Amino acid sequence: MAFDRYKSNTTGFETIAQLGGNHQARFFCDDAVGGVYVTKAPVAKLKMTPQVQFINTNIAWDVSASRTQSGTIDTFDLTFGGGGASDLTGQDFGVDPLTGNVQYTSTGQFTATLFVTDTLGNRSQPATLTIDIVDIANGITKVYIATSDTGIFTYVPGGTPVTANAGLSGGDLNV
């Protein structure tokens, strides 16, 4: 891989001369020993939805928004933080899927972590997300509804449960 070097005094950048397509650039500063290359690390971007989910239920993951300015992303390592989920390490960014689903087989709070590495060997800072996995029986939330004398129904956190009779009518339900 040949680089054309452009410099002003002892700093500058190098780039591969190509017609069209992607270009790779390396930034450098020279010292008494020779060229010292300074490149920007890639940026890992991790998306997981939803971030609160029931046990044994799919959570979608996506690493496709990860980017680099000094090369091409080569590999990614995605760890799900335990909970029975299988980690993905040494995945080829150009070949392996960049999206998928994961299921946690135990409850708790887990930290998913993504690192990406570019073709120049630069590794990103971690992208992390906290995932809360709840048991279906414990994940059900009771909603209490109150009414005002104008007939508008509203959600009242911590309200007192009331049984509504069949004759209850009117108003908007705002939850």
Is the entire prediction scored with pTM above 0.85? Answer: no
DSSP character string of 5-16: EEEETTEEEEE-
Per-residue pLDDT tens over the stretch 32-66: 666 555 678 899 999 999 998 989 999 999 999 99
Provide the pLDDT for residue 104. 96
Which range of residues forms the domain containing residue 80? Answer: 47-139
Per-residue pLDDT tens over the stretch 109-158: 999 999 999 998 889 999 999 999 988 765 455 444 454 555 545 444 45
Q: Are 58 and 50 contacting, i.e. CB atoms less than 8 angstroms apart?
A: no
Chain centroid to CA 159? 36
Per-residue pLDDT tens over the stretch 63-95: 999 999 877 999 999 999 999 999 999 999 999
Report the domain count for the chain. 3
Which run of H or of E encompasses 138?
Answer: helix 136-139
Q: Mean pLDDT check: name the lowest of 21-25, 100-104, 115-119, 121-125.
A: 21-25
With a CB cutoff of 8 Å and minimum separation 6, the contacts of 40 are 27, 68, 69, 70, 122
148 and 162 within one domain: yes
Tokens 């790779």 belong to residue: 24
30 and 14 within one domain: yes
